[in-house]
Amino acid sequence: MPVAFSRTMRSVNADQSRTLLVSLFVIIVIGTAWIVWLLRAKVSVYAVSDGARLETAVTSQPIQSLYSGRITANYLALGRDVKRGDTLVELDTDQERLQFLEERTQDTSLTAEMSVLHGQIAAQRRALEEDQRAAATAGKENELRLHQAQSALAYGESELEVKSKLNKEGLLSHLELARARNELEKQNGELEGLRLEIERQHREQLSHAAERRSQIESLRREVARLAGSQTKQGATLDRLRSEMQLRRIVASIDGTVGEVASLRTGAVVSPGEQLGIIIPSGSLQVIAQFSPSIALGRVHEGQSARLRFDAFPWTQYGSLSATVTNVASEVRDGHVRVELRPAPGSGVPLRYGLTGVTEVEIEKITPVSLLLRMTGQLIAPEKAQSSPTTNGSSQSAGILR
């Protein structure tokens, strides 16, 4: 019996030694693998956004009225596809239309009055040309009469000279000589009278031509005044036409009506009042808002990312893959804007306005480096709280998620 018990004890001790060796070997292998993983493996580090939203490349456009007025027609319908220029809402334009008709009537009256004045100017010009032609004809006639009178006077002077010689020689009586002198003085008086008549006619012609030119200039000034009034009238018509056009609210872009205010025909709207929103057509993009301490210098174009939607749990629908396309260089409202291009083939029905969270892969590091970084980030706030700054405030460090 003692011999059998001794053998049993040795067998048990041998089994325990083998189990210990196997356990020690397994522990060494696992430890070695874990150390190798800590030193050699690469894990992804993600920057997580504070919020994200699906939008289009073109910003949504509000539907607003520039004028106050009463709604006469409403074509707004939620989900309606519209093209740029489609009429959405019409406001009352009765007052502008009546004023437009009145101004257009005045414009027509001005046009007719200007037409009459142009006709009068043309008639005065024709009359002036006729007067000028008549004056030229009368001038030629007067030149001929003056030449004839001058010839007759020259003949009379020659005749008087001959008769004077004959009288001296006694061949002609003194009565005949006196009669010849009288005839010469009469011819001289007729010549002088003719010259005065020609001068008077010339002055009358000049005065008449000046009067007609003055009438033409007066008519021109009246036409210019009416033209100025017509120009002003045209500007008023254009303004009224523009106001009536602007009271017809149209779509500014192609898209879909995504929001509609509660409107009814007859309601009065105010200037700048938002009547709805048009969601533009086009491919969707992800607009994410990141904290500056996380995004600046870390998030850049070309990085891969994934988007998890609030309305669709990622455990059921998965996440949407995306690529960073643009990163803002300025901070706005405490965030950095990052634009991403979603990849096709998502299990989530993509719609404008879906919100979620974006995770951007910013780097790959070893687990030990990540462990050391997280340890440093945890220790840094404690040191900052225990060591006040010069101005009495404490320093804090952001934690990268």
Q: Is the dihedral of CA 199, 205, 206, 211 positive or negative?
A: positive
pTM score of the predicted model: 0.50
Q: Give residue 220's pLDDT.
A: 92
- Is residue 306 within 8 A of residue 262, CB to CB? The reply is no
Q: Give residue 401's pLDDT.
A: 41
Instruction: Please tell me the distance from the alpha carbon of residue 341 to that of residue 344, in angstroms, as a whole number.
Output: 10
Same domain, 203 and 111: yes
Same domain, 85 and 228: no
Same domain, 236 and 101: yes
| CATH assignment at residue 79 | 2.40.50.100
Same domain, 242 and 100: yes
| CATH assignment at residue 210 | 1.10.287
Question: Which tokens in the block code for residue 63?
Answer: 């539907």
| CATH assignment at residue 326 | 2.40.30.170
What is the number of domains present in the chain?
3
Instruction: Please tell me the distance from the alpha carbon of residue 83 to that of residue 85, in angstroms, as a whole number.
Output: 6
Where in the sequence is the domain holding 78, given as residue range(s)?
A: 61-92+248-277
Question: Max alpha carbon distance in the chain (Å)?
Answer: 222
Q: Give residue 11's pLDDT.
A: 62
Same domain, 52 and 175: no
Q: Give residue 8's pLDDT.
A: 60
Same domain, 126 and 173: yes
In order along the chain (401 residues), what is the average pLDDT of each group of 10 residues?
54 64 80 73 80 81 87 88 89 88 90 91 89 85 83 80 78 77 82 85 86 90 91 90 87 85 86 86 84 85 88 82 89 89 78 86 75 71 44 33 41
Exposed / middle / buried, residue 275 (Cβ in 10 Å: 0-12, 13-18, 19+): buried
DSSP notation for 213-267: HHHHHHHHHHHHHHHHHHHHHHHHHHHHHHHHHHTEEE-SSSEEEEEE----TT-
- Is residue 338 within 8 A of residue 326, CB to CB? The reply is yes
Residue 28 lies in a domain: no
